[in-house]
A = this chain, B = another copy of it.
Amino acid sequence: MSKNSATTTVVDTVTTGPIVGSSKVYKPVPGTDSLTFPMRRVHLTNGDHLDLYDTSGPYTDTTAQIDLENGLPKQRDNWVKPAPVDGASTQLAWARAGILTDEMRYIAARESVAPEMVRDEVAAGRAVICANHKHPEIEPMIIGKAFGVKINANIGNSAVSSGIAEEVEKMVWATRWGADTIMDLSTGKDIHETREWILRNSPVPVGTVPIYQALEKVKGDPTKLTWEMYRDTVIEQCEQGVDYMTVHAGVLLRYIPLTARRVTGIVSRGGSIMAAWCLAHHQESFLYTHFRELCEILRKYDVTFSLGDGLRPGSIADANDEAQFAELRTLGELTKIAKSYGVQVMIEGPGHVPMHKIAENVRLEEELCEEAPFYTLGPLATDIAPAYDHITSAIGAAMIAQAGTAMLCYVTPKEHLGLPNRDDVKQGVIAYKIAAHSADLAKGHPRAQERDDALSKARFEFRWVDQFNLSLDPDTAREYHDETLPAEPAKTAHFCSMCGPKFCSMRISQDVRDYAEQNGLATQEDIDRVIAEGMAEKSAEFAELGNQVYLPLTSR
């Protein structure tokens, strides 16, 4: 924010400090002179630690100076920027030319893969690096099915709610808990200014839907939109540093009547805006007819297209219908055009889809859009649970991510009911980290299971504090535990409130294990052998052990 801006005092504080039990560490990016990337180190009580992918930026670094007025350091301004290839200064163009950029090396280190693999996935259009040249503050990340599944958190004010400070805090808060990108969907006043505060202070890529701001410029009347003012809005946002933009260029005039008999018509805001425009003018969408000009603009900044699904289903009844898939075919055409300009592309997906229709969405998207990264909203697996749509959609999200979706747009408990507040943002992020991580496990993503194993070992060994600190939300895990057993000694007790001190299945398991190991059953071969021999002679020993073990702790 410039010093003479009228808004320099709008935001004076955000959440800082590490997540409990963790600290920030920086590791070198191989192949670069001095670049480092951040990880969150969880310190365990047994002296070990686990390093986790970290989206939270400098806010969780106790040594960082946070200056919201001046924004985060513009670190990428000092990185090597290769020369344009075929007129395009984009990660896609460079990847195709075989160039390894600093962003690719940084991402490779973050994802624990080879830089060449990052480059090849980007070159193939199967992954995108959303990093506007004018957004040097971000820590580069990648969206593609070969990498960890990412999640996006939507924030933004509307005409009836929320101010700039609240939205900036939501951005910091969402990335603290694991949001990989942020979309600013503001539709109320101060759209430009809100976005400026978010962009300058966000450690993650920021996406927008430019048609929202364009609509504000015509006082909410979509029929008054023009290509020229839309284009100018896109340029304004590119100049500000937006990293990816949702463009509903697949809502064609001839598809609109296909929605007339749906249960819930058109539920995408962008889709309905363009539908209203197309019908009023009886012309093809200017987003479609001017798409090549859009490509030229986005290419200049390396802004990534997020081709919006303006006709996505808004209910179970409307899932996978002709309107939806007709638009998807058009998005496939546009994908090829964008890539021919060297512009990176991802494809947005539904919405509301029953479980048995989810896989078909991924299959068609990959077939029609050359495996461009799929970026889905949920989908919600049922319509009947407003106030719990973070759960209805986490089910669909986990499944669609397992099937190949690269990024999941979160849904909060307030979906369909109101604007999410700070706590709703956290609920949405956590639910989506669960979905994304579950998919990483199911896809066999390297290192994903390390965290599950570390937490389960801590659980088994009654290292309560480690179990809390390794979890997605240490604060709440501890709080729930303390509701029944608040005293500090309970954190090291070899029992919990579910079974009480007299009996504990975990403890018996540990006894079984100890018994097995003490009796030459350390390997599977040992076990097989002893099974064959019979274990009669060991019975007495165990009985002795057991008679100690199962006495109440208090009497030991």
Mark A residues whose CB is within 8 Å of B: 158-161, 187-188, 215, 219-223, 253-254, 256-269, 271-273, 275-276, 279-282, 314-317, 352, 354-356, 381-388, 390-392, 394-395, 398-399, 402, 413-414, 416-419, 421, 430-431, 433-435, 437-439, 441-444, 449, 451-453, 455-457, 459-460, 467-468, 470-473, 476-477, 479-481, 483-485, 496-503, 505-506, 508-513, 515-517, 521, 523-524, 527, 530-531, 535-536, 538-539, 542-543, 546-547, 550-552
Determine if B260 and A431 form an interchain contact, defined as CB atoms under 8 angstroms apart. no
- A265 and B512 contact, Cβ closer than 8 Å, known pairs A498-B418, A521-B257: yes
Instruction: Please provide the 6 A-B residue pairs with the shortest distance between their CB atoms, ordered closest to farther.
Output: A265-B509, A159-B500, A282-B539, A260-B516, A315-B456, A418-B484
Residues of chain B contacted by A354 (CB below 8 angstroms): 438, 441-442
Residues of chain B contacted by A253 (CB below 8 angstroms): 535
Question: Bound complex: CA of A467 vs CA of B386, how far in Å?
Answer: 8
Determine if A497 and B267 form an interchain contact, defined as CB atoms under 8 angstroms apart. no
Determine if B317 and A391 form an interchain contact, defined as CB atoms under 8 angstroms apart. no
Q: Looking at A158, A354, A543, which has the most chain B CB atoms within 10 Å of its CB?
A: A354
- Nearest B residue to A528 via CB reads B257
Residues of chain B contacted by A443 (CB below 8 angstroms): 356
Determine if B501 and A160 form an interchain contact, defined as CB atoms under 8 angstroms apart. yes
- Nearest B residue to A527 via CB reads B257
Residues of chain B contacted by A281 (CB below 8 angstroms): 539, 543
Determine if A441 and B381 form an interchain contact, defined as CB atoms under 8 angstroms apart. yes
Cβ distance A513 to chain B, nearest Cβ, rounded Å: 5
Can you offer 8 A-B residue contacts whose CB atoms are under 8 A?
A: A267-B505, A356-B443, A382-B452, A384-B470, A385-B472, A386-B467, A391-B431, A418-B496
Give 10 new A-B contacts, CB below 8 A, not counting A316-B449, A384-B434.
A158-B498, A159-B502, A187-B499, A263-B460, A276-B508, A279-B546, A282-B535, A355-B398, A387-B479, A417-B496
Determine if A260 and B223 form an interchain contact, defined as CB atoms under 8 angstroms apart. no
Determine if A550 and B468 form an interchain contact, defined as CB atoms under 8 angstroms apart. no
Residues of chain B contacted by A531 (CB below 8 angstroms): 254, 257
Determine if B512 and A317 form an interchain contact, defined as CB atoms under 8 angstroms apart. no
Determine if B280 and A552 form an interchain contact, defined as CB atoms under 8 angstroms apart. no
- Nearest B residue to A511 via CB reads B276
- Nearest B residue to A282 via CB reads B539
Cβ distance A128 to chain B, nearest Cβ, rounded Å: 25
Determine if A501 and B316 form an interchain contact, defined as CB atoms under 8 angstroms apart. no
Determine if A385 and B471 form an interchain contact, defined as CB atoms under 8 angstroms apart. yes
- Nearest B residue to A401 via CB reads B355
Q: Looking at A161, A215, A272, A402, which has the most chain B CB atoms within 10 Å of its CB?
A: A272
Residues of chain B contacted by A266 (CB below 8 angstroms): 505, 508-509, 512
- Nearest B residue to A549 via CB reads B276
Determine if A317 and B501 form an interchain contact, defined as CB atoms under 8 angstroms apart. no
Cβ distance A336 to chain B, nearest Cβ, rounded Å: 25
- Nearest B residue to A357 via CB reads B442
Question: Bound complex: CA of A502 vs CA of B218, how far in Å?
Answer: 11
Determine if B356 and A402 form an interchain contact, defined as CB atoms under 8 angstroms apart. yes
Residues of chain B contacted by A500 (CB below 8 angstroms): 158-160, 187-188
Residues of chain B contacted by A501 (CB below 8 angstroms): 159-160
Question: Bound complex: CA of A516 vs CA of B385, how far in Å?
Answer: 30
Residues of chain B contacted by A414 (CB below 8 angstroms): 480, 483
Determine if B505 and A268 form an interchain contact, defined as CB atoms under 8 angstroms apart. yes
Question: Bound complex: CA of A479 vs CA of B551, how far in Å?
Answer: 49
Determine if B512 and A259 form an interchain contact, defined as CB atoms under 8 angstroms apart. yes
Out of B263, B314, B388, name the residue touching A431 (CB < 8 Å): B388
Question: Bound complex: CA of A102 vs CA of B538, how far in Å?
Answer: 54
Determine if A220 and B431 form an interchain contact, defined as CB atoms under 8 angstroms apart. no
Determine if B452 and A315 form an interchain contact, defined as CB atoms under 8 angstroms apart. yes
Residues of chain B contacted by A453 (CB below 8 angstroms): 263, 315-317, 383
Determine if A388 and B430 form an interchain contact, defined as CB atoms under 8 angstroms apart. yes
Cβ distance A399 to chain B, nearest Cβ, rounded Å: 7
Question: Bound complex: CA of A386 vs CA of B480, how far in Å?
Answer: 9
Q: Looking at A316, A438, A460, A516, which has the most chain B CB atoms within 10 Å of its CB?
A: A438
- Nearest B residue to A543 via CB reads B280
Question: Bound complex: CA of A261 vs CA of B517, how far in Å?
Answer: 9
- A550 and B220 contact, Cβ closer than 8 Å, known pairs A160-B497, A385-B471, A388-B430: yes
Question: Bound complex: CA of A252 vs CA of B404, how far in Å?
Answer: 41
Question: Bound complex: CA of A314 vs CA of B452, how far in Å?
Answer: 11
Cβ distance A437 to chain B, nearest Cβ, rounded Å: 5
Residues of chain B contacted by A388 (CB below 8 angstroms): 430-431, 434, 472-473, 476
Cβ distance A436 to chain B, nearest Cβ, rounded Å: 10
- Nearest B residue to A514 via CB reads B260
- Nearest B residue to A255 via CB reads B531
Cβ distance A210 to chain B, nearest Cβ, rounded Å: 15
Residues of chain B contacted by A355 (CB below 8 angstroms): 398-399, 402, 438-439, 441-442
